[in-house]
């Protein structure tokens, strides 16, 4: 991932130095298990642990000759370890090291992403309660529908992110799997007990069965989960972009002192952060497709997956980390205009109360079809000719024959639409972690 969208902690996790450190963690764990089982001398283990070291620069230099990164890595270790290096990588194939180390990296990436999600959940909870009683026009098809609570939007997003958190926990479990089973996964040179003990030392589960590699449906699940989470953030950001449209302007991104919106138009305040989140979601979804295509491989393995994974595993993790951090900041500092929401709610001159009028008429004994016709004919005149919907309804002889003036006025009461918001909030937040 480019530096522009890389935050320090996740970026450090996916650095070359950390990758090789995880490889070394796997190699040392294998040596420890071998020493415990008597396969290699204990004094050799002590020498390996004391002298095992590498530099990224030296590994890269050796790889120019070997054209094989794991061999370059073990060669660099051997230069520092000396004679005992013959016991390093004992009985292993490259994927034993790479895939088990990937499990460590992906598990740690999940932990960082879970912290980001928790921070976003807390912001969504706060803003939901802040605007629970703030009326806003609800829209379907982009057209004014009925009044709603602005806070309900954040409650909805909170509930969705809570589901995403559960998805990520499941993905974490799926990827936290190691394998130390050899060249085709048949344990020809190692006892399965070695794999069990190595994975236990590393805090991983051992794959019940594998080929030369961990099966890529695990990675596909991780990448697909990240794509779902990115799509949720895409949804949130798209809604904010709608709110910031000049014709709507119910909320907007914070515009800092000194910030510039356009090189040509000094008046512009654009939803650039929301647009950036939407764009990056497309990238993360694309990486999920590459992950799905890496599930099918030739026989016990090929390496068509590895070139893609060198990009998609770090980049998707880094991108989503960035998106979560920015979405949290965006929603935390979102500037909200309740007065403008009320203006927009009233912009259709009462039309948004047509559904409540329909119910009032049916309660008064009018058939639904007849009630709909009476309400709609007044609504269509208001759309086409202007004027006020309530005024037309009050002058309609059919409606007035069935409803009193007080009953008509109650049909146009805004608070009716918000009367059950507290119950919805109780369902969303009462038992949330």
DSSP-derived 3-state class of residue 55: coil
Q: Residues with catalytic annotation?
A: 141, 262
How far is 402 from 418, CA to CA, in rounded Å? Answer: 26
360-369 burial by CB neighbour count: b if 16+ within 10 A, else e? Answer: bbbeeebeee
The DSSP symbol for 414 reads: S
How open is the CA angle 218-223-227, to the nearest 5 degrees?
145
Tokens of 131: 């605007």
H or E element that contains 33? helix 16-37
Residue with tokens 């703030």: 134
Kindly report each contact of residues 155-160 with a partner whose C-beta sits within 8 Å and lies 24 or more positions away, as own/partner. Answer: 155/124, 155/128, 155/424, 155/425, 155/428, 155/429, 157/124, 157/232, 157/236, 157/331, 158/121, 158/124, 158/125, 158/128, 158/428, 158/429, 158/432, 159/428, 160/232, 160/235
Full DSSP string of 329-361: HHHHT-EE-HHHHHHHHTTTTTGGGHHHHHHHH
| Sign, Cα dihedral of 166, 170, 175, 180 | positive
Q: Are strands 205-206 and 251-252 parallel, antiparallel or unpaired?
A: unpaired
Q: Which are the contacts of 381, defined by CB distance < 8 A and separation ≥ 6?
A: 387, 392
State the chain's maximal CA–CA distance in angstroms: 103
Determine the angle formed by the axes of helices 94-130 and 150-175, rounding to 10 degrees: 160
- By the 8 A CB rule, do 174 and 224 touch? no
The DSSP symbol for 303 reads: S
């Amino acid at each position: 991932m480019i530096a522009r969208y890389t935050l320090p902690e996740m970026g450090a996790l996916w650095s070359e130095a950390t990758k090789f450190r995880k490889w070394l963690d796997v190699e040392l764990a294998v040596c420890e298990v071998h020493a415990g089982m008597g396969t290699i001398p204990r004094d050799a283990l002590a020498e390996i642990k004391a002298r095992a070291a590498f530099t990224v620069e030296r590994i890269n230099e050796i790889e120019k000759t070997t054209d094989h990164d794991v061999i370059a890595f073990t060669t660099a270790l051997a230069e520092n370890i000396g004679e005992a290096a013959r016991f390093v990588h004992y009985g292993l194939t490259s994927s034993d090291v790479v895939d088990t180390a990937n499990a460590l990296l992906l598990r740690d990436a999940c932990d960082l992403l879970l912290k980001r999600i928790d921070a976003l959940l807390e912001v969504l909870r706060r803003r939901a309660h802040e605007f629970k009683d703030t009326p806003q026009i609800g829209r379907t098809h982009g057209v004014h529908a009925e009044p709603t609570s602005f806070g309900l939007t954040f409650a909805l997003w909170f509930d969705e992110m809570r589901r995403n958190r559960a998805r990520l926990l499941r993905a974490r479990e799926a990827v936290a799997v190691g394998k130390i089973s050899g060249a085709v996964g048949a344990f020809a040179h190692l006892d399965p007990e070695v794999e069990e003990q190595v994975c236990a030392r590393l805090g991983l589960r051992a794959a019940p069965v594998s080929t030369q590699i961990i099966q890529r449906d695990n990675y596909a699940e991780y990448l697909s989960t990240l794509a779902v989470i990115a799509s949720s953030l895409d949804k949130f950001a798209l809604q904010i972009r709608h709110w910031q449209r000049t014709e709507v302007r119910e909320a907007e991104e914070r515009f800092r002192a000194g910030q510039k919106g356009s090189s040509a138009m000094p008046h512009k305040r654009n939803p650039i952060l929301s647009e950036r989140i939407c764009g990056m979601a497309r990238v993360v979804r694309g990486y999920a497709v590459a992950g799905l295509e890496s599930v099918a491989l030739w026989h016990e393995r090929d390496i068509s997956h590895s070139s893609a994974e060198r990009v998609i595993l770090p980049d998707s993790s880094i991108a989503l980390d960035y998106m979560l951090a920015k979405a949290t900041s965006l929603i935390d500092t979102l500037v909200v205009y309740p007065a403008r929401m009320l203006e927009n709610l009233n912009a259709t001159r009462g039309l948004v109360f047509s559904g409540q009028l329909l119910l009032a008429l049916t309660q008064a004994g009018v058939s639904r079809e007849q009630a709909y016709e009476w309400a709609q004919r007044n609504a269509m005149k208001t759309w086409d000719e202007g004027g006020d919907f309530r005024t037309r309804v009050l002058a309609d002889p059919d409606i007035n024959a069935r409803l009193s003036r007080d009953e008509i006025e109650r049909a146009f009461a805004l608070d009716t639409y918000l009367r059950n918001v507290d119950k919805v909030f109780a369902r969303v937040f009462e038992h949330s972690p």
